Amino acid sequence: MDAALVTGGTGFIGSHRVRLLLKRGVGKVVVSNISGSLRNLEALRDRVEITRADLAIFTDVLRLVEKHRPRTIFHIGAMLGPACDENPEAGIRANGLGTYHVLEAARLLGTRQVIFANFAAGSKAVPI
């Protein structure tokens, strides 16, 4: 059964990605969430697995990828500009270090594809 992991899957864009994956029949959709808000996925909670993971902590990301072995990771989890402006260090941890952790865990554990979404530049597939 193919699995997909959506970082930031409880956010606006991430929750739409989750809905699309379910509509396309992906076998298992795992959503990582640090914000604690599940409002955008309330109607889908019985169809997805939601897990708490801090992308800035490599062991969190490694455990998440190792446990679920996703074929594809949709990396949408990030801090937006205003929050980064208020706390630049947290922005660097979440966005820079978090992206590195996702890519490194995918490389180490053989994830087939990482799709990175960036609000300014669109989405890009990153070969592993």
Tell me the per-residue pLDDT of 85-101, one tens digit each, with 9 for 90 and over. 888 888 888 889 999 99
Evaluate if residue 122 carries a pLDDT over 50. Answer: no
How does pLDDT run across 44-72, given as a tens digit for each residue? 988 999 988 899 999 999 999 999 999 99
What is the Cα gyration radius of the chain? 14
Please give the structure tokens belonging to residue 20: 């699309």
pLDDT band at 12 (very low <50, low <70, confident <90, very high): confident
Name the β-bridge partners of 123: 117
Domain boundaries, the chain: 3-126
Evaluate if residue 34 carries a pLDDT over 80. Answer: no
8 Å CB contact between 73 and 4: yes
Q: At what angle do helices 98-109 and 58-68 cross, to 10 degrees?
A: 40
**3-126 has which CATH code?**
3.40.50.720
Amino acid at the residue 46: D
Q: For 37, what's the count of Cα atoms within 13 Å in the CB-facing half-sphere?
A: 10
Q: What's the pTM value of the predicted model, to 2 decimals?
A: 0.85
